[in-house]
Amino acid sequence: MRISDIANPRQVILVTARWQDTDDIITLAWHMPLSFNPMMYAISLGKKRFSLELIRNSKVFVVNFVSKEFKEDVLFCGEVSGREVDKFKETRFEKEEAETINCSRIKQALGYLECEVVDEIETGDHILFIGKVKKAELKKHGARLFHISGDKLGELEDA
Ligand SMILES: Cc1cc2nc3c(=O)[nH]c(=O)nc-3n(C[C@H](O)[C@H](O)[C@H](O)COP(=O)(O)O)c2cc1C
Protein backbone atom coordinates (compact mmCIF):
# COMPACT_ATOMS: atom_id res chain seq x y z
CA MET A 1 0.00 0.00 0.00
CA ARG A 2 1.18 3.50 -0.85
CA ILE A 3 0.73 6.58 1.36
CA SER A 4 -1.50 8.16 -1.27
CA ASP A 5 -3.94 5.21 -1.06
CA ILE A 6 -4.63 6.33 2.52
CA ALA A 7 -4.15 10.10 2.31
CA ASN A 8 -6.21 10.73 -0.85
CA PRO A 9 -8.39 12.38 -2.05
CA ARG A 10 -6.27 15.51 -2.22
CA GLN A 11 -6.79 18.74 -4.11
CA VAL A 12 -4.66 18.94 -7.24
CA ILE A 13 -2.84 22.16 -8.09
CA LEU A 14 -0.31 23.30 -10.68
CA VAL A 15 3.04 24.82 -9.84
CA THR A 16 4.77 27.04 -12.37
CA ALA A 17 8.54 27.40 -12.32
CA ARG A 18 11.08 29.36 -14.34
CA TRP A 19 14.84 29.37 -14.68
CA GLN A 20 16.50 31.59 -17.27
CA ASP A 21 14.42 31.17 -20.49
CA THR A 22 12.61 28.00 -19.47
CA ASP A 23 9.12 27.79 -17.96
CA ASP A 24 7.52 24.59 -16.69
CA ILE A 25 4.22 23.45 -15.17
CA ILE A 26 3.99 20.51 -12.74
CA THR A 27 0.83 18.85 -11.40
CA LEU A 28 0.94 18.35 -7.62
CA ALA A 29 -1.27 16.70 -5.03
CA TRP A 30 1.28 17.08 -2.22
CA HIS A 31 1.12 20.68 -0.96
CA MET A 32 -0.16 22.57 2.09
CA PRO A 33 -0.55 25.93 3.86
CA LEU A 34 1.89 26.37 6.79
CA SER A 35 1.26 29.76 8.40
CA PHE A 36 -1.16 32.73 8.25
CA ASN A 37 1.36 35.32 9.39
CA PRO A 38 3.72 35.31 7.68
CA MET A 39 1.82 33.58 4.89
CA MET A 40 3.71 30.36 4.12
CA TYR A 41 3.01 27.45 1.75
CA ALA A 42 4.82 24.14 1.12
CA ILE A 43 5.09 21.92 -1.95
CA SER A 44 6.62 18.44 -2.22
CA LEU A 45 8.45 17.41 -5.40
CA GLY A 46 9.97 14.08 -6.44
CA LYS A 47 13.74 14.31 -6.80
CA LYS A 48 13.71 13.64 -10.56
CA ARG A 49 11.21 16.34 -11.53
CA PHE A 50 12.45 18.88 -14.06
CA SER A 51 10.53 21.62 -12.23
CA LEU A 52 12.56 20.83 -9.11
CA GLU A 53 15.74 21.81 -10.96
CA LEU A 54 14.15 25.10 -12.03
CA ILE A 55 12.92 25.91 -8.49
CA ARG A 56 16.30 25.00 -6.96
CA ASN A 57 18.01 27.47 -9.28
CA SER A 58 15.50 30.31 -9.17
CA LYS A 59 14.30 29.94 -5.55
CA VAL A 60 10.77 30.93 -6.58
CA PHE A 61 7.54 29.21 -7.66
CA VAL A 62 3.85 29.98 -8.15
CA VAL A 63 1.03 27.78 -6.84
CA ASN A 64 -1.89 27.94 -9.30
CA PHE A 65 -5.37 26.70 -8.29
CA VAL A 66 -7.36 25.59 -11.33
CA SER A 67 -10.92 24.43 -11.95
CA LYS A 68 -12.11 21.00 -13.02
CA GLU A 69 -12.67 22.12 -16.61
CA PHE A 70 -8.90 21.77 -17.16
CA LYS A 71 -8.77 18.09 -16.16
CA GLU A 72 -7.09 16.90 -19.39
CA ASP A 73 -4.43 19.60 -19.27
CA VAL A 74 -3.77 18.96 -15.58
CA LEU A 75 -3.26 15.26 -16.32
CA PHE A 76 -0.94 16.11 -19.22
CA CYS A 77 1.22 18.31 -16.97
CA GLY A 78 1.40 15.39 -14.54
CA GLU A 79 2.40 12.82 -17.13
CA VAL A 80 5.06 14.44 -19.26
CA SER A 81 8.24 16.25 -18.30
CA GLY A 82 9.24 19.79 -19.13
CA ARG A 83 12.56 18.26 -20.20
CA GLU A 84 10.78 16.99 -23.33
CA VAL A 85 7.96 19.46 -23.97
CA ASP A 86 6.94 23.04 -23.42
CA LYS A 87 3.73 22.50 -21.45
CA PHE A 88 2.50 26.04 -22.12
CA LYS A 89 2.61 25.23 -25.85
CA GLU A 90 0.94 21.83 -25.51
CA THR A 91 -1.96 22.80 -23.20
CA ARG A 92 -4.69 25.43 -23.05
CA PHE A 93 -2.80 27.19 -20.25
CA GLU A 94 -1.64 30.70 -21.06
CA LYS A 95 1.35 32.34 -19.46
CA GLU A 96 1.17 35.56 -17.51
CA GLU A 97 3.93 37.24 -15.52
CA ALA A 98 4.00 37.00 -11.75
CA GLU A 99 4.17 40.43 -10.15
CA THR A 100 6.51 39.96 -7.18
CA ILE A 101 8.90 37.29 -8.47
CA ASN A 102 10.50 36.34 -11.80
CA CYS A 103 8.17 33.46 -12.69
CA SER A 104 5.20 32.58 -14.88
CA ARG A 105 1.61 32.23 -13.67
CA ILE A 106 -1.31 30.46 -15.32
CA LYS A 107 -3.75 33.04 -16.68
CA GLN A 108 -6.80 30.79 -16.28
CA ALA A 109 -6.09 30.02 -12.59
CA LEU A 110 -8.90 30.64 -10.08
CA GLY A 111 -6.26 31.93 -7.69
CA TYR A 112 -2.53 31.85 -7.09
CA LEU A 113 0.26 32.23 -4.54
CA GLU A 114 3.58 33.77 -5.63
CA CYS A 115 6.26 32.22 -3.41
CA GLU A 116 9.92 32.71 -2.57
CA VAL A 117 11.76 29.60 -1.31
CA VAL A 118 13.01 30.06 2.26
CA ASP A 119 13.90 26.45 3.00
CA GLU A 120 14.31 23.06 1.35
CA ILE A 121 13.98 19.80 3.30
CA GLU A 122 14.83 16.31 2.03
CA THR A 123 12.00 14.14 3.31
CA GLY A 124 12.96 10.89 1.50
CA ASP A 125 12.34 10.48 -2.20
CA HIS A 126 10.72 13.95 -2.27
CA ILE A 127 11.98 17.45 -1.47
CA LEU A 128 9.78 19.81 0.53
CA PHE A 129 10.08 23.44 -0.58
CA ILE A 130 8.89 25.96 1.98
CA GLY A 131 7.69 29.14 0.35
CA LYS A 132 7.04 32.60 1.74
CA VAL A 133 3.98 33.97 -0.06
CA LYS A 134 4.75 37.36 -1.63
CA LYS A 135 1.37 37.82 -3.34
CA ALA A 136 -1.90 35.91 -3.07
CA GLU A 137 -5.08 36.41 -5.05
CA LEU A 138 -8.38 34.58 -5.45
CA LYS A 139 -9.76 35.74 -8.79
CA LYS A 140 -12.92 33.62 -8.91
CA HIS A 141 -14.58 30.55 -7.40
CA GLY A 142 -14.89 27.22 -9.19
CA ALA A 143 -15.07 23.50 -8.55
CA ARG A 144 -11.63 22.00 -7.96
CA LEU A 145 -9.97 18.76 -9.09
CA PHE A 146 -9.04 16.06 -6.61
CA HIS A 147 -6.58 13.19 -6.90
CA ILE A 148 -8.53 10.07 -5.98
CA SER A 149 -6.06 7.20 -6.50
CA GLY A 150 -3.51 5.94 -9.00
CA ASP A 151 -3.94 8.07 -12.10
CA LYS A 152 -7.61 8.83 -11.37
CA LEU A 153 -8.67 12.46 -11.08
CA GLY A 154 -12.08 13.19 -9.56
CA GLU A 155 -14.09 16.36 -9.33
CA LEU A 156 -15.63 17.96 -6.30
CA GLU A 157 -18.58 20.24 -6.97
CA ASP A 158 -18.97 23.49 -5.05
CA ALA A 159 -15.53 23.14 -3.49
C1 LIG B 1 -2.81 13.86 -10.07
C2 LIG B 1 -1.31 13.95 -10.00
C3 LIG B 1 -0.69 14.37 -8.83
C4 LIG B 1 0.72 14.48 -8.75
N5 LIG B 1 1.30 14.92 -7.59
C6 LIG B 1 2.65 15.06 -7.54
C7 LIG B 1 3.27 15.60 -6.37
O8 LIG B 1 2.61 15.98 -5.39
N9 LIG B 1 4.63 15.70 -6.36
C10 LIG B 1 5.41 15.33 -7.45
O11 LIG B 1 6.63 15.45 -7.40
N12 LIG B 1 4.83 14.83 -8.55
C13 LIG B 1 3.49 14.70 -8.64
N14 LIG B 1 2.90 14.22 -9.77
C15 LIG B 1 3.77 13.80 -10.90
C16 LIG B 1 4.33 14.97 -11.70
O17 LIG B 1 3.34 15.92 -11.99
C18 LIG B 1 4.95 14.43 -13.01
O19 LIG B 1 6.04 13.58 -12.72
C20 LIG B 1 5.38 15.50 -14.00
O21 LIG B 1 5.48 14.92 -15.28
C22 LIG B 1 6.69 16.18 -13.63
O23 LIG B 1 6.94 17.19 -14.56
P24 LIG B 1 8.36 17.93 -14.69
O25 LIG B 1 9.40 16.85 -14.96
O26 LIG B 1 8.16 18.84 -15.89
O27 LIG B 1 8.61 18.66 -13.45
C28 LIG B 1 1.50 14.12 -9.88
C29 LIG B 1 0.88 13.70 -11.06
C30 LIG B 1 -0.51 13.63 -11.13
C31 LIG B 1 -1.15 13.19 -12.43
pLDDT in tens, 54-71: 999 999 999 999 999 999
**Nearest CA residue ID for atom 15, ligand 1:** 78
Q: What domains, with CATH codes, occur in the chain? A: 3-156 (2.30.110.10)
Pocket test for ligand 1, best of 3, 12, 28 (most atoms within 8 A of CB): 28
Report how far residue 66's alpha carbon sits from residue 112's, in angstroms, rounded to the nearest whole number.
9
Report how far residue 145's alpha carbon sits from residue 154's, in angstroms, rounded to the nearest whole number.
6
pLDDT band at 158, cuts 50/70/90?
low
**Nearest CA residue ID for atom 20, ligand 1:** 78
pLDDT band at 159, cuts 50/70/90?
low
- Residue 28 CB–ligand 1 contact under 6 Å: yes
Report how far residue 139's alpha carbon sits from residue 119's, in angstroms, rounded to the nearest whole number.
28
Whether 1 has a pLDDT exceeding 90, the answer reads no
Q: Side chain identity at 49, as an amino acid letter? A: R
Condensed to tens digits (0 to 9), the pLDDT of residues 80-103 reads 999 999 999 999 999 999 999 999
What DSSP string describes 6-50?
HH--EE-EEEEEEETTEEEEEEES-EEEEETTTTEEEEEEETT-H
Q: What is the pTM of this model?
A: 0.97
Distance 79 CA to ligand 1 centre (A): 7
